[in-house]
Structures are given as C-alpha cells and as structure tokens.
Structure 1
C-alpha cells in the first residue's frame, strides 16, 4: 500500500516487533491478577506496568512512565546502562519490576529513581533515595523495599521512611547486591540479593572486581572523550571475587561460608519457604558443581548434591529450588538425556529434553521441554509446557509451536508462537480453562515468512529453508545465503513465525536462505550440545557445510554461489567459513565476531576451550587470527565484510581489528564497517535498518546477484 514502511525500517523501528508485545508476567497467588509490561503501541519504546484483573475482566495501568516523568526524557546511570546491555534490553520506561509475595506491591526503577506501585488500585509513587537506584525489590510481606545505590545495598519502608544502608560501599570496585559482569553476561544471573521468606533479612552478594584486569573502550569518533574503563575478565585472567552474607534488618551480618577457592562461581541462589537458602556453586572449569544448603544461624553450608561432567555442566533457569514439602528440584544430564529430578526421583526420561523449570507447585512441577533423543520423529523446532509429577508428564500447550508459561496457583499465563501467524498469543488459563487473553499491540510485519523446517544430512541437523515469495518451480537454482547463529545457547530453528522474518526478507532479495542449527546449539540432547567441546571451528563449520549439501538435493540451491552472514558467534562462524572453507562459501558478512578467544570472557570461553595457559593449541585451532585461522590458500580469498560496534563491551572491537590486521598481513582483501557509538545490541533505528541494506548490497555484489 502507499506509504508502507519497508521491512528493514519497520524491523528496526519496532525493535524486531518486540514493542507493544506483553512480557514479564507475574500472577497473584489468589489468582485474581496478572501483572505485565507492555508499551502502548508497536513503535513506542516506553513500557507501561499493567494489571489485568481477572475477576472484573478489566485491564489498567499501574505505572505509566510518561505520567510519572511528566514527559521528561529518561536519565540512566552507568550501572543501569550496563545492566540493560547485559540483558540485551533495548526498550525504555519500566523495563523490569519486582513484586511482593501477594503481588499487591511492585517496585521498579525509572530514570534512576525508585517507584512503588499499588497493584490493586493502580497508583504509583516515588520514594526518595540518596542516588540512582538499581534492581529495587519489595520484601515478601510488602512492608519494605531493598535496592542498590552507589554500590550499597539499602532498604526502606514501603512508604519511603527509614531508608538506610545494610552493607557497603567499601571503596572503588566493591559493590553489594549487584551481579558481577560474568554472572549477568554468561550465567543468566542478573540478581545480587534475595529476600528471606520471613522478610526480616536478605542474602546479598559482595563483589570485589579489583582482581579483574582493566580494559579501556574509546570512542574514536570523539577523541576529546576519555576512554571508558571496563573490568573485563578475559579467558585465563582473574575473575571478580564474589562472596555472600546474610544481612538482617536489625543490622546483623552473617558471612556465608563455602569452599570458594574450589567453587568460585556463585551460579544460583534460591530462598523460599520450602527450606533453607540454596546455593549452586561451580568450579572454574565448570565440570563440578555443588548444591549447598545454608545454615542461617551460623552461615555454614552443607552439601546436598553434587554433579560432575567430563566436559561441562550447564546452568538452567528455575533451578535449584525447593518443593513446598522440602524436596530438591534440579535438572540433570543423565545417560545422554536432560531430565527433571525431584528429591531422590527422576520424573522424566529421554523422551523429553528439559529446558527450564517454570514453577514448582505442591502437586507438580511446570517445565519447558522439547522432544528428547528417544521421542521418535518429533516436529522440528517445537518447545512445549508440561506438568510433571510422579504419575508422568502432561502437556499443557496443545498446538504446534514454541510455548512458554508463568504460573501461580490455579492460574497459568501461556505464551504461544506458531509458524503460521506473527507474534505470540497470550492466554490466561484458570484450572486449565481459558479465562482471558492479553492483547498485543505489536505491529504486524509487512512481509510473511514462509519457513520450511527440515532435518538435514545423516546427523539430522535442524534447518530452515526460505525461498523468495515470488519463486516458482522451474525458475532455476538460487544463490544461497546461510544465516546461522550456530553456537551455544542460540537456537534459530524454531516453530515461530517472527523468528524467520529477517531471513525471509533476505530470501525476497533473491536468495535461498538456509538456517542450520548444528552441533553445539540447544536442541534435543546434551550429546548434541557438548559435541563442540574444545572444537568450535571444525564441528560447527562442518555442520553448516553438511546441511547445505544435504538440502541441495531437495531445494533449488546454487552451490556455486553461497554466502553466509551472522552476528556474534554467528559472525565468528561466517568469517570462519570463508577463511577455512572457501571451496564451499564464497562471501561472508561477519558482525561483531569473536576472532581471538583469548579476548572473550572466562565463564563462556573456558567452559568450551579450557584455560588458554593450559591448552594454547586449542585456542590457536579455534582462532581466526592465528596460522590455524588463516589456513586456506591465499589465492582462494573470498569477499568478507566485518561489522563491529566500537562501543561493544562484550565482544570488544579489538576482535575485528586483530582479524583485519592478520588479513592485511596475509594479503587478503576485506572490508571493515565500524559503527561509532554502537554496542553489541545495535538498538539504534537507523543503524539497524541500514545494516540490513548494506549487507544485502554486499552479498549481491559479491555473489553476482542481479
């Protein structure tokens, strides 16, 4: 239609169609309220805190940032900017909140200020604080709010009176109540303090990043600005020192004791009425972990269970936890399957691949799972919600697709995506029956994705194929664009329409697009994920090539014109493809690639490759900047565009600069596109839009596409 936005502009303006979509649900224990975040339109970045009253059937805002700020622009502290970068949060307004046990009071930070909202009445008010706040959380009884400001963990009454510091600050580099970089970036632990069920004390993490080596990230476009100092724990270098203390509201402090020399990683903390505080701690090599129970009187810990793995141990959402009757809930890798264990019993088997625990109730455990290695011939790319107890597993989500859920008591919020419709449908189930839906204001994409989900090659590699919307049988073979992530924790082949929109847009530019989730990606078994141990380069690249060859027998793929694009690990894989396999891949766009694994962080890199001091040959073999990385003949150089945000503090720009220097020294032509002021997220609308346009132009030129 006239005036319709192009897909690249719409994709950028809507932040990948996430704006206006409801998220971050909380359900009151009495089943009367569902609380969530959602902006008012598909292009509005400012999230509003909403309440859906199920008894009255009405929805109302509990906190509107525009009203609270009087139309003023948000001002974010350095700590809040870092927290949002770690969580890949690109929206604005109320981007996160926490609730009390009854889900009657919510606390949130807005423009560095502390607010609480009465969820029954839908009113919000500001509490005075001594400085910009981070991660405010009400006590379970709703009488207090704890938060972090200036590196100190503070607490105040819910009416704002009695504000005081419980701990810290203790000098530069030391904070209380915040997650350290490595926990937030790699462990999926964004919190640094936890309320007691009785609301009289908090467990708080003390982080000292003095041992961490300092890096400086400059803004070359503004040479008058001083470089930003970043404490970055690169592989093989010291981590921050993390300890834990029990802080009573009466001013008492009890240090928690465990063997931190052996288990330096504090991976998970759980505290509920089902038992004493639970800790999950890991060795640095992540091959051993211990579940610990804390004695709140003395600070001593006792071992409840240990896990070992010759490669590494994964961390999972929702565990460890207690059942209401005091049994330990965990997810474990056993006999080639990923299973749910409760107490001394394993409740699932190899027919299910457990991904996360969503809720622990008195009668069952709600989990997210996909088909396991013994599930027969499951549909590719699906994930479902199950209720599990001693009698077995019952699927809650019925239709094919990708599902997740939040539950409290008899009410479940079920979010469902499918291949045949854009966005997600959110249904409220009460006792298993639909009681309401939550509206989405997300924009409808201007194009329709037409993904075909496949299993490719002898390994059955999950893959998606997308052809141009105008393609007709008999049109002949098409140039190919491989569009992977291809690495740990990055599943791209999913039964959800919006996940394939960008790939479809590239297909509509004249390509057959293939997305392949090779070994190392999270799919059906621990064996599949752990096949990349000490071997990023060969395993992940081989699976891209195998999927391409296998699918060429079923789809019109021109194997003489194959491009590949990717970001982050996908950028590494794209550069790897043209450097190692120029016989298969003829052009690449590598966005924010990790090129030298010695420059990437400890918890991620050492999990897969070990310590660089101990295994230098492993790092060399998987690097793009060593002789191993540039092993293909120089006379088989393929076009390569490298894109990198100069403000990236996750995959720093040094990765691209080192690769460019190595390529130049080897006489290999390449292009570098530096993005001034851009981080790993690339949230800026113009940047995100033009990146798509520049990539397709480069690929067309390089592959001879008209």
Structure 2
C-alpha cells in the first residue's frame, strides 16, 4: 500500500513538472501583468559614517514612501529616517538627496518629465534633527542642489537660476535674462541633455559662496514643432529648439556668481574658440579653482581648463585629440592635493590615468587590451582605486581594485556575468548587484579589500521559481566570424529545438556607436518577447557588429564618417552565414530594431534584399540630416563636409531596392528622432510605388509607451512576424549537411 502511494505521488510530481514546464509566455504577461518584474534596491545611498546605507522603500498598504537606514554589518534595519505617512504635506516622495552633513534631506514630489533626463517637481527639505519640513518653492522647479555647507539650495526656474537661504527663507535671483526658446541659465538645452547626458549645468564650490553655471543662447537655433493631438477639439503645438546636423548650435558661455558680492563674471579662457561645447564643469577641492572642459564642434579635441575665480585667470592643464572623436565622461576625480584621476582611450582602450594639478602625467594606472567601463572612486587611506571593467571578456563586467601607482590589481567579484558595485563612504564595503543571462538580480554585501561575500541582501529567487513554470530557452553566447572580425552573438532556440528541422530566423540589433546588446546580464522585457517567439518556433539572434563598444577604439571608431555602412554589411554577412546552418531556413530571415536599430533594419532590408524577407523599424532615423548636431557630427562631421556619408547610407535613398515586407512604426510626439523621419521615408516608399505597413502612435515619444501602448505595439509586431516568417516549421530532409564549424561557440 505504501509503495503504491509513493508511486502515485511520484507520478503526480512528474506530471506537475511536465505541466509546469509547458506554460507559455504571453504578451499580457510581459506588458500588462508585469509577471516578470524584478526586485531592486531603489535610490541606494551610503551614509557618511561608512557603516550604514539608506534606500527608498514603498509601502503598498499605506501607499507611502520612506527612507530607511540599514546597517552594513548586520543588514538589519536601524530606523526609518522619514516616512511620508507622517508628513501631512507629502502623500509620497519619489526621490531624495542628503546634504553633505546628512542633517537634511531633499525630498522630490509631483515630478513630471520634460525630456529624457529632465523633470519639474516640487521639493521639500526635511530636517533630520528637528523632524520639520520646509518647502523649497511654491512652484515646480528644476535640479535643486544643496550647497556643501547645507545652508542654501540653488535651482532653475523658467530658464533662470536662483538660490534659497534655508535659514532665512530668502530667495536670491542670480540671472534675469532667461526666456523660453532664447536664453537658458544653469540648465542644459535639449541637445546637451540628450547627448552629453546631464541637465544641471551649475555647480557649487566647496566654500558654498560661488556658483559656476553655463548660459545657453538659443536665439539662432532653428525651432522644431510637434502637433499634440490630446483629447480636445483642436490640437496644440510643442515648439522647441533643436539643432539638426550642420545647423546653428546654442552659443554657450561660462559664468561664476559670487554670493558674497552678488556679482556674476563671465569666464574667459586663454584660447580663441569658434564653434564649441562646454560638456562638463566641476569645482576642484580649491574653492577658487573651477575645472571646465571645452570641446570643438567636431568633438575630436578636448581641453581641460582650470579657472581661478579669485584671480580671473585660466590655465590649460590637459589637451586631448583623436582622429575620430573623444567620448566625454563623468570620470574626473580630484584628490586632496588637487591631482586628478581621468579616463581616456588614448592608448586604444579606455583606461585610468593619474595627473598632477598642473596636468603633468604621473602614471597610467590601468593597462591592457580591455576597457574600463566604470569608475567607482578613490580611497585616500589605502591609495586604492575601485573600478569596473571587461577584462574578463567583453560581454561580462567585473569589479576591481588597484593601487594609485598601478600595482596590486585585484578582481573583487567572483561570478561570471554583470557585476556593479556601490561602495560605502569609507570604502570598507560594497553592495554588489549581480546578474547574468541565467541569474536574475542578486544584491550582496562584500568586503572591499578582498571582494569576499559577507551576506546576501536581496535576490529574485521568487522570479526564478516562477520562470521554472514556463517553457523557456537558454540564451547561447558565441562569436561569429564575418568581414574579418569575430563578432559577439547570442542565440535563442525553441525549447524543443530539433536540429533536423528548419526554423525561421529573426534577428535583433541596435548597432549604435559604442553600444552593446550582446551582454551576459539578466532579461529585459524584450528578452521575454524573444522567449515567446521561440515558443512559436523562431530562432532569435543578436549580433554586435563593427562600431559597437567595449572591444577597443579601433573596432568602435571604424564607422567614422560612414554610419550605417559597415554595420549593415556585418548584419547582412551574419545573416547569410547563419542561413547556411542546416537548421535555419535561409528563405525566412527577418530583422528588427528601434531608433539606431530601426535605421539599421531598414537599410538591411533594402540593401540586403536577397537575404532578408522582412524587417520592422521602430522610431528609426531615416537620414542623419534630420538628427541633432552633437550626436551626428561626432560620428559624421557636418552634412556640408560629408554629404556622401549622409546620403549613401540613408534608407530614404534605397527604397527602390525594397522586395520584402516592411513595418514602419513611430510616435508622433518623438522629440528625439522626429516623426519627420518616418514621414520622409513613407513618402519615398510611396513615390517608389513600394507597398509596406506602418503605424503611428499619437502623442507618444521615442519610447512609445503608456497605458496599453506597448501591448498594442508588440501585438502588431508579433502578428507581422507571424504573417511574414511564420509558416510551418519544415520537417527534416533526408540529407543534412553539417555546417556549424564556421560559427564558434
């Protein structure tokens, strides 16, 4: 009887496993029900004592937010610093920032997005000692920032710069000429925000008595307008300054405001610049010395200036040049002696350098045929630098330590995948965020000296258990050799893959300069979509071609002046080689991409019309003449200088080659890649009498999201794939030639 019972239970267990493993991913799971969402640590901040950290927590029951303090050693919650449940003025807050001495916290509320990085919001200062709340302003402002002494907050409002005395509530207006679409003070214009990736264009000095800021004169920048259809009888227009390639940029100037005298002086450096950018400003440890980076319009010359505000003098301390372009980073750190740490690609790979305060090179700290991908900080006590790199393979990320003199390098993370560190203020600990293609995010406490695991903080085991119920496939990493290069690749096959059958191939890529899509990290929403497609019988592949990142400057910059030439050649060549595999149906190969990837997929279908049967292009650039100055000219110079580079690789000029099926998608309120791109390509296709499908999403920006939008979009794309690639999987043929030796992995 007992044996019969055990046998029954075993059969029931096996049956439940087989049922569980056949559950299929749906678009509703991905885009509506958030079935595969992951746990995170939000707004992590290391407290100044080095022994505690804070995070932002959301209480779903009370619908309130709180800043909670935890102990590094025990990982136990020490206290709740502040909760919106106890604040009458704030139902909840969405972000927080400490003053330097951590006696006050700036709480962000009612935030509303402007563009990709910029937002407006109402802000309150919470006094930790008195537990009182103070409003920064009665209206929505931008980028409020504590002074180092915590007595003031500077912010932007309606294109002017202000600061508030928190002790007296007195507000001082610093600039007065701000005007929409003409003058901006202390906040970046659209193109700086998008391409130099910052919004706050002002900075306090360490003495809390001076503010340096950049002024943007947009008067001569051409305007772009977008209709906003909304729900009313008449549409409105959004009009903003957008400098397209070859057109006028905002005129920038650097200024220093002295709070003690109330005067503002324009900074003049000892070099005549014609058309230039100021992509970074940062005060040194000396309260009178400001660092400012100046860059020519071609972005192949970068000058680092030290400006002495007291003496009104400037000194050029570092000048870099490159045949192609120089990437601007935030990796500038001043040490106590005002020597500085800097990252550069000047030896062909991105590495860390140490210079003295005059700009004389002390030493190159890191070396090798690999890239430093992040700089975490410098421990003055141990003279140790902490950083992230791809030394352990370009698809992986590890955390390292190294002495300032370049010796005693240690790999601190042990597990292969993507590791990212957040160090304690005293560099005794770091919280490591780890994920891989097989492991969702794990948060662990580690020793900064050895990297050894101390304790687990948070994992996503529940998600892993949930995914075990679904029919999923492994993401297989390898390389494919085309056009003389070994290109990183991943492949997802159907879970019931049979090498004796032939499958349609669907390729994804982005391909933009310095980008990476083939990386050993946890799933994005698109990865679940690829799993869904694999369930239907597709093989999905992604290849990072020439021009992508983390394999050295030469590999990345080979596309200079020819965006879309070599990248398209690599995708076409990869598709041809993959089509030779016995289990891939070469007559059914499709490709898709978004933004730069949409530019690529369009070109691949047109130029590779004998290879690709279909393509989907979402929010594509269709001519680089339509895109902004900073991004486009970095890689292409201007259209006036390089007309053939712009036109020979524009999909608009290759519509006559279209043979396959094409789906074009765009949002009408895309402030980044304007819907103009889709309209001009559409007109060219019409005049070439080429049939195609398209979808315009009203009032949606470059991300095309909100409500059911993503669900609708991915349903449309999935249906298009099924209609054009999704015939029944071929049954095996009698003779199959093995042809996998050409692909490594």
TM-score by length of structure 2 reads 0.83
SS at match of 2:564: helix
State whether residues 643 and 674 of structure 1, in contact with CA within 8 Å, keep that contact through their aligned partners in structure 2: yes
Q: Does 1:452 align with 2:476?
A: yes
Structure-2 residue corresponding to 1:463 = 489
SS of structure 2 residue aligned to 1:412:
strand
Match in the other structure for 2:385 = 365
> For 2:137 and 2:712, how far apart are their aligned partners in 1?
41
Deviation at 1:640, TM superposition (A): 0.5
Which residue of 2 is the match for residue 183 of structure 1? 192
Counterparts of 1:236 and 1:16, CA distance in 2: 46
Select 1:505's aligned residue among 525, 529, 532: 532
Query: Are the counterparts in 1 of residues 670 and 700 from structure 2 also a CA contact under 8 Å?
Result: yes
Cα contact 1:108–1:116 (8 A) shared by 2: yes
Do the aligned residues in 1 keep the contact of 2:25 with 2:528 (CA within 8 Å)?
Answer: no
Of 528-537 and 18-27, the range deviating more from structure 2: 18-27
Matched, 1:32 2:51: yes
Cα contact 1:337–1:350 (8 A) shared by 2: yes
Q: Which residue of 1 aligns with 2:426?
A: 409
SS at the partner of 2:548? Answer: coil
Q: Counterpart in 1 of 2:151?
A: 143
Moved over 6 A (4+): 14-19, 43-47, 69-72, 440-443
Give the stretch that moved more between structures: 493-502 or 282-291. 493-502
Greater shift, 285-294 or 421-430, is seen at 421-430
| Change in 2 beyond 3 A, CA 1:230/1:20 | farther
8 Å CA contact 1:338–1:350 kept in 2: the answer is no
**Counterparts in 2 of 1:190 and 1:69: CA distance versus 1, 3 Å:** farther
Sort the Cα spacing of 1:167 and 1:15 in 2 relative to 1 into closer, same or farther, 3 A: farther
2:588 to 547, 561, 572: 561
Cα displacement (A) at 1:19: 7.0
Deviation per CA, 1:49-92: give whole Å up to 9, x if none: 543343672165555568768787x9xxxxxxxxxxxxxxxxxx
CA shift in 2, pair 1:255/1:511, >3 Å: same
Provide the rounded CA distance (Å) in 1 between the counterparts of 2:462 and 2:86: 24
Evaluate the alpha carbon distance shift between residue 5 and residue 260 of structure 1 in structure 2; reply closer, same or farther with a 3 A threshold: farther
Q: CA deviation at 1:631?
A: 5.6
Tell me which residue corresponds to 2:367.
349
Counterpart in the other structure of 1:82: none
- CA 1:35–1:120: 2 relative to 1, 3 Å: farther
Return the offset for 1:35. Answer: 3.0
2:493 and 2:540 in contact (8 A); partners too:
yes
How many Å apart are 1:180 and its aligned residue? 1.9
Note if contact 2:174-2:257 (Cα within 8 Å) is conserved in structure 1: yes
Unaligned runs of 5+ in 2: 1-18, 111-120, 356-360, 729-745
Separation (CA, whole Å) in 2 of partners of 1:48 and 1:169:
39
Contact 1:40 1:441 in 2 (8 A): no
Alpha-carbon shift at residue 613 of structure 1 (Å):
1.4
* 1:81 paired residue number: none
Q: Does 1:291 align with 2:304?
A: yes
Aligned twin of 1:530: 557
CA distance in 2, matches of 1:154, 1:44: 36
Does the aligned pair in 2 maintain the 1:580–1:631 contact within 8 Å?
no
> 2:655 and 2:164 mapped to 1: Cα distance?
58
Given the superposition, is the C-alpha separation of residues 15 and 205 from structure 1 closer, same or farther in structure 2, using an over 3 Å criterion? farther
Q: 1:37 to 1:211 in 2, by over 3 A?
A: farther
Q: What is the deviation of 1:141?
A: 2.3
Matched, 1:520 2:547: yes
The number of residues matched between the two structures is: 670
Provide closer, same or farther for how the CA distance between residues 117 and 168 of structure 1 changes in structure 2, counting only shifts above 3 A: same
Task: Look up the SS of the partner of 1:630 in the other structure.
Answer: helix
Give the secondary structure class of the aligned counterpart of 1:460.
Answer: strand
Q: Which residue of 2 aligns with 1:340?
A: 352
| 1:561 match: secondary structure | strand
Deviations 1:267-310 (A, max 9, x none): 12222427832222210000111011111214432111111111
Offset of 1:638 from its aligned partner?
A: 1.0
**Quick one: which of 689, 695, 703 aligns to 2:717?**
695
Report Cα offsets for 1:516-565 as digits up to 9, x if no partner.
11111112211111011112222111111233344456683222111111
Rg comparison, structure with higher value? 2
CA separation of 1:242 and 1:139: change in aligned 2, threshold 3 A: same
For 2:640, the equivalent position in structure 1 comes to 613
Tell me by how many angstroms 1:607 deviates.
0.8
- Kept in 2: contact 1:412–1:429 (CA 8 A): yes
Q: CA deviation at 1:459?
A: 0.9
CA contact (8 A) 2:352 2:364 kept: yes
CA distance in 1, matches of 2:259, 2:462: 47
1:444-502 CA distance string (max 9 Å, x none) = 3755562111111141101110112232444x121011011111243111111214333
Which segment is superposed worse, 249-258 or 516-525? 249-258
* Structure 1 runs not aligned, ≥5 long: 75-92, 372-377
1:230 aligned partner: 240
Residue number in structure 1 paired with 2:399: 385
- CA distance, structure 2, for counterparts of residue 556 and residue 395 of structure 1: 40
Structure-2 change in CA distance of 1:14 and 1:355 (3 Å): farther
- Decide whether the 8 Å contact of 1:651 with 1:680 is kept in 2: yes
Question: Does the CA-based 8 Å contact 1:12-1:685 persist in structure 2?
Answer: no
In structure 2, the partner of 1:327 is: 339
| Residue 478 (str. 1) matches residue 506 (str. 2) | no
Match for residue 733 of structure 2?
none
Judged with a 3 Å threshold, the aligned counterparts in structure 2 of structure 1 residues 454 and 128 are, in CA distance, closer, same or farther, namely same
Note if contact 1:127-1:159 (Cα within 8 Å) is conserved in structure 2. Answer: no
Q: Which secondary structure state, in structure 1, belongs to the residue aligned with residue 248 of structure 2?
A: coil
Q: What's the counterpart of residue 273 of structure 2?
A: 261
Match of 1:683 among 705, 710, 714: 705
Q: How big is the shift at 1:383?
A: 1.4
Question: Which whole-Å CA distance do the structure 2 matches of 1:438 and 1:210 have between them?
Answer: 52
For residue 494 of structure 1, the aligned residue among 510, 513, 519 is 519
1:344-383 CA distances to partner (integer Å, 9 max, x unpaired)? Answer: 1111112431123221332122222113xxxxxx545101
Counterpart CA distance in 2 for 1:68 and 1:169 is: 37
- String of CA shifts for 1:194-229, please: whole Å, max 9, x gaps: 121222222122222222111110035656022110
Distance 1:436 1:151, change over 3 A: farther
d(CA) in 1 for partners of 2:204 and 2:100?
11
| Most deviating of 563-572 and 400-409 | 400-409
Q: 1:380 to 1:15 in 2, by over 3 A?
A: farther
Are the equivalent residues in 1 in contact too, given 2:505–2:584 (CA < 8 A)?
A: yes
- Does the residue aligned with 2:440 lie in a helix, a strand or coil? strand
Corresponding position of 2:223: 214
Which of the residues 678, 685, 696 maps onto 1:663? 685
Indicate if the aligned counterparts of 1:423 and 1:498 stay in contact, CA closer than 8 A: no
- Note if 1:168 corresponds to 2:176: yes
Contact 1:274 1:323 in 2 (8 A): no
Q: Distance in 2 between matches of 1:106 and 1:71?
A: 14
Say if 2:46 and 2:52, in contact at 8 Å, map to a contact too. yes
Distance in 1 separating the partners of 2:365 and 2:417: 24
1:62–1:117 contact (8 Å) kept in structure 2: no
Offset of residue 337 of structure 1? 2.2
Is the 1:404–1:414 Cα contact (8 Å) retained in structure 2? yes
Q: Could you tell me which residue of structure 2 aligns to residue 241 of structure 1?
A: 251
3-state secondary structure, aligned to 1:548: helix
CA drift at 1:126: 4.2
Query: Could you state the TM-score of these two structures normalised by the residue count of structure 1?
Result: 0.87
The C-alpha deviation readout for 1:417-442, integer Å capped at 9, x for no partner, is 12221234353546555555544689
**Among 305, 314, 327, the residue aligned to 1:301:** 314
SS at structure 2 position matched to 1:622: coil
Question: Cα offset for 1:33?
Answer: 2.8
SS of the residue 1:218 aligns to: strand
Seen in structure 2, the aligned counterparts of structure 1 residues 60 and 319 have a Cα distance that, compared at 3 Å, is same
CA–CA separation in structure 2 for the residues paired with 1:14 and 1:118: 39
CA distance in 2, matches of 1:334, 1:696: 44
